[in-house]
A and B are shown apart, each in its own frame.
Chain A
C-alpha cells in the first residue's frame, strides 16, 4: 500500500528491536542469522550479494529516519564491523509538559505555512504524543503568527548549523543581473516579516545581511566545519542595525484642505483650523522622505514650513510637472465613455 512490502517493514521493525536489544556489536552475518527476512545461503555469491544490497538499503532507511545506527567491533580480534543502537541515543528523553505548555506546542505546530516544515512539525508532535504528552489540537491563543519561509531558508539554516560556506546568486531590485555571493553564514533571522541571513561575506571581507527573498536559484554549500561561527552573536542586532528606529526631531507645519488627506491628519500632533484649511503639525526625521510622502497628497496639502521641507516638496513637484510636460505634451484627458457628450 505504501509501495513497500509488508515484509520489508516487518524486517525493519525487527532489525530495530534486535539492534536495540544487543549490547555487543552484531556483524552483518550475525544479523542475517538472527533477523527474519535476511535468510540466505552465504556461500552462494549471488544470494550473498543480494543480501548485502538489501542490508545496505535497510541501514540507509533507518539512518534517514534518524535512527542512530552505531558501528564498531565487538573485540579487537574482529575485523568485520558490527552494528547496534544505543538506547540513550535512540530514545526521546522524558518530556513533561503542563497543560498550558502543551497548548503552546500544539499551536506552534500549526503555524507553518511551509509544507515541508508543517509536515516536520506534525511528525515531531506525534513523537511527543508517543512520549505520553497529550496535545490539545483545538487550543487557541488570542494572537497567532503566520510563519512562512523562503526556499533558501532550509539550506541556509542547515549550512549555518554545520558551519558550511555557501554560495548563492543574489539580486537586488536595482541590479540588472544576479551576482554570486559567497558567505560564511552565522544564522537566519526573521525581522519585520522578512527573512535574512547574517554572516561573513567572503568577497567583501565583512559582516553582511542578505534578504532571502532576493536569492535567485539554489544555495550550494561546501564541506562542514570550515569556519567557526562567532560565539554569542546577536543575529537580530545585525539585521536591525540596517533599519534602526529613526528619531523624528523635526516639526513641519502643513496646510491641509478641510476634510482631505486623512492619511496626513492621522499623524498630526496639533491641528489648528483656519479659514483656508487646517494647520497640521507633523514630526519628521528626514525632509526628503517627508516631501516624497506629502507630494502624494497633491494639492490637498501645502507645506508652510520649515524651509527645508517646503523647498524639498516644491522641488519634487517642479520636477514632476516638468517631467510630465516632456513626456505628455498636452493631450486631452480621455474621459470614460459614459462621461462623453
Chain B
C-alpha cells in the first residue's frame, strides 16, 4: 500500500474530476464536492487549475473548458481526459477482495447482485485483478439463522432470544431490539439493544438457541451506538478480574486464542500469562479444561475454586456410575 502521496493525490483527483463532471453535465458544485469527498472550496480550486490546462497549442480551443450556470458546472471541452485512469493493483485488490467477502455472506437476496458486481469489477480492472491470488471463505455454520436475523433487522421487529452466555454458562431469555447483523473473524453476530441490560450487546449467532419475532416494533434508543469491532469483539477492560496462570509449552496456544495482557517466560519451559476473565466461574472452567499443565497463580479465590471443584468431581465419580479399575 503506497502511503499518502501528497502531490500525487491532487493530480489523481484532477485527472478524475474531468471525466466525473463530463458524465454529469450541469451538476451542482456542492453535490460534486460531497460525492468526491472534498470541500467545495477545494473543488473550486481544482476547477481553476484545470481551466489553465490543456492540449499542446494551449490556445483558447486547446484548454479544458467549462461553463458555469449559477452553482452548476458543465465541462464543454475535456482536452482528451474523458475517461478515468484504470484501477491500480491496490484499488482492484481492495474492491475485489471485499466483494469476494461480501459474496460469502449467506444472503440469498443480495448474493446475485454481489456476484454480478464482482464479475464486472474484475473485468473492468483487467490486468490489475487478473489471477488475484486471494480467496475468502466465511464460516458457513448458522447460515439459516443468519438469514432469519437479517430479515428481522430489515423488518425492524423486536425479538425474544434464548441466549447462551458462555462466560456464565447459563441460558437466558431476553427481549432485544435488533440493530445489525455482522460477521467478525470466524463468527456471525447480532448487534442489538438488550432491554434487560439496557445496553448494546453483541450476540454470537451460534449461541442463540431460540429466536422468536415479537408483534412489536424494534425501538433502539437514539443514544445506542454501534460497537467498534475493528480490534475484535472481546475487548478486555481493566475492571475485569485479572487471572494469572503458569502454563507449559502445550498450553501456549491460549496466548494466541485469548487476549493476554502479559506473557512472561519464567523458565525455558514455563510461562506466566495474565488475562482478563469476565467471570471467575468461566476461568475455573477454562483452567479445569486445560488440565494439569496449568497452575493458577492468582487470584487466590480461583486457586481454591479449581481445587475444590476438581476434588468434588473426583468424589462424584466414586459415587456414581460403573467402577473403573
Chain A residues with CB under 8 Å of chain B are 2-4, 6, 8-10, 12-14, 16-18, 20-21, 34-36, 61, 64-68, 87, 89-98, 100-105, 107-109, 111-113, 116-132, 140-148, 154, 157-158, 160-161, 173-174, 176, 185-194, 213-214, 229, 235-236, 240, 255, 261-263, 266, 276, 292-293, 295-299, 302-305, 307, 310-311, 313-314, 316-324, 327-328, 333-336
Contacts and interface: CB of A to CB of B under 8 A. Distances in A.
B95 A266 contact: no
A334 B300 CA distance: 6
B218 interface: no
Given A121-B98, A173-B255, A262-B171, A142 B107 contact: yes
A267 B137 CA distance: 26
A122 B91 CA distance: 8
Contacts of A102: 117
B216 interface: no
Contact of A333 (B58, B105, B114, B303): B303
A93 B10 contact: no
Interface in B255-288: 255-256, 268, 284-286, 288
26 contacts: A3-B7, A6-B49, A17-B80, A18-B56, A64-B5, A66-B86, A92-B85, A95-B120, A105-B99, A111-B98, A123-B91, A127-B16, A127-B86, A141-B110, A142-B151, A142-B153, A143-B183, A144-B182, A157-B132, A262-B164, A266-B171, A293-B289, A299-B315, A302-B317, A324-B306, A333-B301
Given A18-B55, A105-B95, A296 B123 contact: no
Interface in B236-269: 249-250, 252-253, 255-256, 268
B110 A2 contact: no
Nearest to B45: A1
B90 to A, nearest CB: 4
B101 A321 contact: no
Contact of B10 (A9, A16, A302): A9
A20 B107 contact: no
B324 A307 contact: yes
B314 A321 contact: yes
A225 B36 CA distance: 38
Contact of A120 (B79, B91, B316): B91
B3 to A, nearest CB: 8
Contact of A90 (B85, B99, B135, B256): B85
Given A17-B81, A104-B110, 8 more contacts: A9-B14, A35-B56, A95-B121, A117-B90, A121-B94, A142-B149, A188-B135, A333-B300
Interface in B38-83: 49-50, 52-56, 58, 79-81, 83
Interface string B122-166: 011010000111111111000000100111011000000000101
Contacts of B12: 65, 123
Contacts of B37: 122, 126
State which size class the interface on B falls in.
Answer: 35 or more
Interface of B: 1-2, 4-17, 19-20, 23-24, 35-37, 49-50, 52-56, 58, 79-81, 83-95, 97-99, 101-102, 104-107, 109-110, 113-114, 116-118, 120-121, 123-124, 126, 131-139, 146, 149-151, 153-154, 164, 166, 169-171, 180-188, 209, 229-230, 249-250, 252-253, 255-256, 268, 284-286, 288-289, 291-292, 295, 300-301, 303-304, 306-317, 320-322, 324
**From A89, A101, A161, residue with most partner B Cβ within 10 Å:** A101
B20 A101 contact: no
Given A142-B150, A266-B171, A105 B301 contact: no
Contacts of B285: 296-298
**From B86, B138, B253, residue with most partner A Cβ within 10 Å:** B86
A297 to B, nearest CB: 7
A263 B322 CA distance: 25
B116 A295 contact: no
Contacts of A263: 164, 166, 169
A70 to B, nearest CB: 14
B304 A334 contact: yes
Q: Tell me whether chain A's interface is mostly helix, strand or loop, or mixed.
A: helix
A299 B313 contact: yes
A63 to B, nearest CB: 10
A316 B290 CA distance: 10
A189 B53 contact: no
A317 B310 contact: yes
Contacts of A68: 86
A234 B114 CA distance: 21
A190 B292 contact: no
A101 B103 CA distance: 12
Contacts of B309: 298-299
A147 B97 CA distance: 9
A126 B118 CA distance: 17
Given A35-B56, A101-B113, A192-B186, A320 B292 contact: yes
